[in-house]
């Protein structure tokens, strides 16, 4: 009997998968501008409105907290209504958050800036969940490739975001609003366009096809996916249990969580570090753009390597790259070129660990548990980023950027040790 997790790959299914990849990729181009806006100017706005560097990571922290909450809620919405409804709803809420940032900058209300970060987190959660949506109808041997393709398409919007600071300033001058808030006007438009692409175009819904609620008939009229058994829809707790009960998904989760916490911590404090050492806003934007390019531009390479070498090897290589990155950035001082190199490597390490870990989760979990496991993974990933962003601001004020880099290196070394122990345990287990 054919397994529920390995449906027949028919020409009709392949056509829907190609269309799904195209639409998700197009939406990522536009919605990625929102993430780039928070990364490049969120910390600067927070310092400006709060008057203290200790609050520099507050917007990134609330955005990742919002993404954590959103991942769980959007997961349940996807289970009930499909990917199209879940992803488009998240982008609509994210756009409302970007509008809130503009209002915060105009009014000088720091609390509104922080609250708006939570809503922008919904858009960030969509960018994360889109990579899993890309695997719903994938052939087993191409899951890493398809997942990484959607991650890769985030490059255009996410890299363009920080470099639109100048355009945002011009737009802000025309609208009579603070210069740093102009970029969020652009990100609002980007998320709304991404929402429209998914809402209008993502038909049939890939997840509903996968579970048989939208039967996809091929030339012979045969349904291409076996329905998932009925029963109560799993929630966050069941998703965490599913992740932890499979060795492959457990290892993937550990790598994803550690990589994201370190990446957010170092990345969110870099604009403050650079401006404190005399860097212009243009250098800050370029640095963040190159970092985001490192996160996304080589994602297809990470996906192909994951399909060929296995997730564990690629995830471990990503953690080693992160180790080199945080040490370079931490010791960079006022050498802006070294900071840039460190941030590029930080993005590359995150890409390897995230793509490999996500593919491991998809491969290890059966269809009935998969969406819940994916939502739980994104929730834990975002929570780790929130903790990393929160502690990073405190660390920057207490022990400086060098101390932050050293602390991040310790986290990475511990993670590598845990992954090595997990791999040995799995080899000994029948």
Which tens digits make up the pLDDT trace of 235-283? 788 889 999 988 889 999 999 999 999 998 998 888 888 888 777 777 8
CB 325 within 8 A of CB 343: yes
Which tens digits make up the pLDDT trace of 179-207? 888 888 988 998 999 999 999 999 899 99
- What value does the mean pLDDT take over residues 320-330? 95
CB 423 within 8 A of CB 251: yes
Separation of alpha carbons 364 and 346, rounded Å: 27
Which tens digits make up the pLDDT trace of 279-302? 777 788 788 778 888 888 888 999
Kindly list the domain boundaries of the chain, sorted by start residue: 11-428
3-state secondary structure of 340: helix
Q: DSSP labels for 294-314?
A: HHHTTHHHHHHHHHHH-HHHH
Which tens digits make up the pLDDT trace of 96-120? 999 999 999 999 999 999 999 999 9
Q: Which fold has domain 11-428?
A: Growth Hormone; Chain: A; (1.20.1250)
Whether pLDDT at 89 is above 60: yes
Q: What is the pLDDT of residue 226?
A: 46
Separation of alpha carbons 270 and 343, rounded Å: 8
Q: What integer best gives the mean pLDDT of the chain? A: 84
CB 216 within 8 A of CB 7: no
Tally Cβ neighbours within 10 Å of residue 189. Answer: 15
Q: What is the pLDDT of residue 1?
A: 35
Q: Which residues are within 8 A (CB) of 68 and not within 5 positions of it... i.e. 6 or more apart?
A: 121, 125, 378, 379, 380, 381, 382, 383, 386
108 or 425: which leads in pLDDT: 108
3-state secondary structure of 217: strand
Separation of alpha carbons 73 and 312, rounded Å: 29
Which tens digits make up the pLDDT trace of 205-231? 999 998 888 776 544 444 444 444 455
């Amino acid at each position: 009997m054919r397994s529920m997790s390995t449906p027949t790959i028919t020409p009709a299914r392949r056509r829907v998968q190609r269309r799904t990849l195209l639409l998700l990729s197009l939406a990522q181009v536009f919605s990625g501008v929102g993430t780039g806006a928070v990364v490049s100017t969120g910390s600067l706005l927070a310092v400006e409105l709060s008057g203290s560097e200790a609050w520099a990571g507050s917007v990134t922290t609330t955005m990742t907290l919002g993404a954590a909450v959103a991942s769980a809620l959007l997961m349940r919405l996807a289970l009930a209504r499909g990917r199209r409804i879940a992803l488009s709803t998240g982008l609509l809420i994210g756009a409302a958050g970007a509008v809130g940032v503009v209002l915060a900058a105009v009014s000088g209300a720091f609390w509104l800036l922080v609250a708006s970060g939570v809503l922008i987190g919904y858009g960030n959660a969509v960018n994360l969940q889109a990579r899993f949506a890309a695997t719903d109808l994938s052939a087993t041997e191409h899951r890493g490739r398809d997942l990484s393709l959607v991650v890769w398409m985030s490059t255009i919007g996410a890299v363009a975001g920080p470099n639109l600071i100048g355009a945002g300033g011009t737009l802000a001058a025309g609208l009579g609003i603070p210069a740093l808030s102009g970029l969020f006007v652009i990100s609002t438009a980007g998320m709304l366009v991404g929402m429209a692409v998914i809402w209008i175009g993502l038909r049939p819904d890939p997840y509903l096809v996968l579970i048989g609620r939208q039967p996809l008939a091929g030339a012979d009229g045969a349904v291409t996916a076996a329905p998932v058994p009925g029963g109560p829809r799993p929630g966050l707790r069941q998703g965490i249990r599913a992740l932890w009960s499979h060795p492959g998904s457990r290892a993937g989760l550990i790598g994803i969580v550690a990589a994201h916490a370190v990446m957010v911590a170092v990345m969110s404090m870099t604009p403050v570090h650079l401006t404190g050492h005399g860097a212009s806003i243009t250098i800050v934007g370029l640095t963040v753009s190159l970092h985001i390019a490192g996160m996304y531009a080589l994602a297809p390479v990470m996906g192909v390597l994951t399909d060929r070498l296995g997730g564990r090897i690629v995830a471990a290589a990503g953690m080693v790259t992160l180790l080199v990155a945080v040490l370079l950035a931490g010791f960079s001082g006022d050498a802006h070129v070294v900071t840039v190199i460190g941030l590029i490597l930080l993005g590359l390490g995150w890409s390897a660990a995230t793509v490999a870990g996500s593919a491991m989760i998809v491969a290890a979990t059966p269809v009935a548990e998969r969406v819940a496991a994916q939502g739980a993974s994104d929730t834990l990933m975002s929570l780790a980023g929130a903790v990393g962003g929160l502690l990073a601001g405190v660390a920057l004020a207490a022990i400086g950027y060098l101390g932050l880099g050293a602390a991040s290196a310790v986290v990475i070394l511990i993670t590598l040790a845990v992954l090595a122990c997990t791999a040995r345990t799995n080899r000994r287990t029948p």
